[in-house]
Amino acid sequence: VGFLKLKRSCRHFLIRDSRQLQVQKIYVLPNAANMGIGSSLMRLGEESVRALAPISAWLMVYEGNHRAVSFYERLGYCPIGRDNHDFEAIRVGFTVMKKDYGA
């Protein structure tokens, strides 16, 4: 019903931490939404990478997706800036969010 992809050693230019982890993808089937599955996936993912000792995790959310930003904020992520990706003639804006684990 859900899928989470984490990528270790993936750095973002807005973050200076040496050991970063990217939350690259998270999906939950629509008929399983609002059942806590996304939160559970994120917690299990974070627990599974603790041995890698990341200093921070980061992710990008489509700009204006307030529901997703709220979801990640409840999990301890904070907006830290913006990034853009260009797809041919289209520029897509993203909010970059970060969660600190400590050094």
| pTM (2 d.p.) | 0.87
CA distance 13 to 15: 6
CA distance 84 to 18: 22
* pLDDT for res 89: 92
Mean pLDDT, rounded, for 18-35: 89
CA distance 77 to 70: 9
Asked whether the predicted pLDDT for residue 62 surpasses 90, the reply is yes
* pLDDT for res 49: 80
Q: Are 99 and 78 in contact (CB under 8 A)?
A: yes
Query: Looking at the DSSP assignment, which residues form a beta bridge with residue 24?
Result: none
CA distance 86 to 48: 33
